[in-house]
């Protein structure tokens, strides 16, 4: 679905209804079982009475069974309504028609997934259900309180110095800490989880910039959120200064080991002054644990990720609740991960604009070692 054809509201609605169905499946069965157990406790107590105890116990069980049966039918009817509504929304999002098989209360998440027709529709629901078990949600009020850090911490600067040879460390530090760069402030180890959650959930800039490209405001009256900051469905960072330095270390080694050779390489291969370079995890020595962050829940395909970002936009525009997100390690959770680096030539010098962990090579990026 395209951006303005309803995929945002549709995905938001599906998220809410599927949440309700999963909750009803679990809690409804628990409530019915508890009601039966409570009735048996009362019956046992009544059975101990001296006069008419056995008869009273039988009546308790009979009435309880009748009441639970009525409740079970009502809850099953509600589950059927939720199932049909979810089916209709999945059809809108995937184009896959079909019916949903009945699912008894307490059957569990796997049974709900299997109730959908095999194919794209079931795969879509399976992704949502799997992430629903571990998702997190940050209200916009919490995002408003998330800390913003614009300065580069002294500890990070010291760590970067230590990560490079004495012959290049000051030049590298100048590249990374240039005023036009934001690799450390957006993707360094000091960026808090709250700031990352606010970034992916509500498009809030972790640096707190207020310029026309990054301004952010939450309306306290209606809860709408207004943002100019650009972000997709993932917000991540490196967990240590050492991890942050690894991609640049790899690029420096690949180009000859000196600042002069690095600049010469960039000048030759990127004469327009803009270099978009992807360093594969194995080339950068990035390993699981070197990265962390949050991604939109139910975003295993490009289309699902687009639906999620459209739903986020709809929620922001209408004062809605947060879209669910899931913690991720971009290096551990993907097949061909690495780091994306953007370098730009400013006033005759190459500057590292940003560097961040990435699930795979982007279409606009050139893999290090594959330069023409």
pLDDT at 142: 98
Asked if residue 58 has pLDDT above 70, the reply is: no
The 10s digit of each residue's pLDDT in 310-351 is 999 999 999 999 999 999 999 999 999 999 999 999 999 999
Give 356's strand partners: 340
Distance CA 167, CA 82 (A): 65
Give the pLDDT of residue 130.
98
Average pLDDT of the residues in 147-159: 92
Task: Please tell me the predicted confidence (pLDDT) of residue 70.
Answer: 66
Q: Are 346 and 178 in contact (CB under 8 A)?
A: yes
Question: Are residues 301 and 120 in contact, defined by beta-carbon separation less than 8 angstroms?
Answer: no
Parse the chain into domains and list their residue ranges. Answer: 7-132, 140-367
Q: What crossing angle do the helices spanning 120-132 and 7-47 adopt, rounded to 10°?
A: 60
Distance CA 276, CA 114 (A): 43
Q: How many CB atoms lie within 10 A of CB 47?
A: 15
User: What's the pLDDT score for residue 99?
Assistant: 92
What's the pLDDT band for 66 if we cut at 50, 70, 90?
Answer: low
Q: Identify the CA nearest to 293 among candidates 176, 139, 186.
A: 186
């Amino acid at each position: 679905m395209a951006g303005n054809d309803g995929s945002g509201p549709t995905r938001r609605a599906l998220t809410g209804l599927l949440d309700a169905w999963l909750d009803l499946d679990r809690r409804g069965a628990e409530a019915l079982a508890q009601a039966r157990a409570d009735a048996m406790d009362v019956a046992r107590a009544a059975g101990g009475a001296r006069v008419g105890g056995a008869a009273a116990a039988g009546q308790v069980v009979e009435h309880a069974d009748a009441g639970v049966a009525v409740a079970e039918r009502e809850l099953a009817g509600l589950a059927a309504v939720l199932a049909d509504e979810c089916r209709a929304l999945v059809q809108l999002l995937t184009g896959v028609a079909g019916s949903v098989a009945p699912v008894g209360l307490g059957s569990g998440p796997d049974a709900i997934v299997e109730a959908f027709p095999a194919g794209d529709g079931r795969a879509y629901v399976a992704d949502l259900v799997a992430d629903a078990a571990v998702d997190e949600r940050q209200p916009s009020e919490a995002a408003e309180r998330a800390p913003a850090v614009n300065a580069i911490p002294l500890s990070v600067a010291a760590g970067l110095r230590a990560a490079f040879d004495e012959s290049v460390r000051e030049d590298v530090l100048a590249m990374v800490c240039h005023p036009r760069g934001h690799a450390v402030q957006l993707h360094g180890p000091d960026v808090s989880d709250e700031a990352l959650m606010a970034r992916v959930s509500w498009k809030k800039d972790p640096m707190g910039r207020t310029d026309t490209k990054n301004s952010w405001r939450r309306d306290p009256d209606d809860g709408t959120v207004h943002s100019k900051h650009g972000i997709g469905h993932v917000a991540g960072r490196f967990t240590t200064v050492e991890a942050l330095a690894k991609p640049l270390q790899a690029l420096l080694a690949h180009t000859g080991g000196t600042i002069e050779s690095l600049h010469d390489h960039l000048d030759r291969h990127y004469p327009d002054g803009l270099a978009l370079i992807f360093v594969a995890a194995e080339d950068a020595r990035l390993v699981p644990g070197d990265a962390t962050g949050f991604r939109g829940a139910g975003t295993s395909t490009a289309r699902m990720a687009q639906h999620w970002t459209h739903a986020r936009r709809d929620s922001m525009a209408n004062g809605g609740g947060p879209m669910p997100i899931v913690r991720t390690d971009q290096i551990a959770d993907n097949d061909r991960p690495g780091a994306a680096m953007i370098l730009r030539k400013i006033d005759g010098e190459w500057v590292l604009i940003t560097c961040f962990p990435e699930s795979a090579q982007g279409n606009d990026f050139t893999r290090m070692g594959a330069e023409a």
